[in-house]
Amino acid sequence: MAEFFADRPGGRPGLAVFLTGGDPPPDRLADLVTLLDERGVDCLELAVPFPDSVTDGPVLRRSARRALRRGTGLADVLAFVARVRPRLRRLRIALLADWSHSVRPVGDAEFVRRVAGSGADAVLVHALPPRLRERHLALAADADLPVVTTCYATSPPPVRAAAARDATAYVYLVAAYGRSGTAPAGGYAGLRAAVGDVRAAGRAPVAVGFGVRTRADLLQIGATGADAAVVGTAAVSAVERAERTGRDVLAGFDTFLRSMAIVDQPSEEGTHR
């Protein structure tokens, strides 16, 4: 099993960043992935774009639409993973794909085979039907493909326990009901009990996401005992903002990462200075 969010210096929380495959286009996206690796980010949650996700806010929906307009599909994203993964030193890639849009058309067994063959470190299937969960987990285990599971912080205890039990990569603990970009009304400090329950019920790391935008958010999440924070809407917004204003996307994204203030500083040998 790949170790996610291990060996963070100074006990600081790990960091996962969400981006959409195909947004920005592959060559620019490859540069962003290299930058994430250089800055010590732990995980890239790379989504196969799909339309009109009910759990995504407007920023992620726009990103998916841009990628879909470029013709990006499952094969393209897997080819991208196969291209960039061998050169990464720290960064791991968890592939996110929607059941109806990307998995069902090819079949779960073939999907798992392709994802494992791409070199992805883990898989997260969005909207996986509960009746198919056991088979999906078995297929992934047979392929040595770690699985990311999800649950809400407010999910019933048996649901949280199942997510913890079944995760072989990490548990994505969703901080608040609503669409992506929505933060919990009382902040992240109130998640300590939920994080503890999930951790006690399984062995996989716990990553907290939804609405994470600032260094203060990351530190609050770390204080709950979570292993990592997931930054999605804020990361995609940084890409979108740079493209909209005509600024270099790489420079704009680097500024965003520096604002989080927990990523590694560039080395003199870095390629994106």
Give me the active site residues, please: 45, 56
Distance between CA 24 and CA 29 in Å, rounded? 5
25: Cβ contacts below 8 Å, ≥ 6 apart: 70
Query: Any idea of the CA torsion for 8, 212, 219, 95, to the nearest 10 degrees?
Result: -10
162-166 contacts, C-beta under 8 A, 24 or more apart? 163/198, 163/202, 164/198, 164/199, 164/200, 164/201, 164/202, 164/204, 165/201, 165/202, 166/133, 166/137, 166/202
Distance CA 189, CA 108 (A): 38
Cα–Cα–Cα angle for 173, 174, 176, nearest 5°? 140
How far apart are alpha carbons 12 and 238 in whole angstroms?
23
CA angle 73, 76, 77 (to 5 degrees): 85
Report the phi/psi class of residue 203: left, alpha or beta, with left for phi > 0 and alpha for psi in -120 to 50.
alpha
- Amino acid identity, residue 224? T
What span, in angstroms and rounded, lies between the C-alpha atoms of 65 and 71?
10
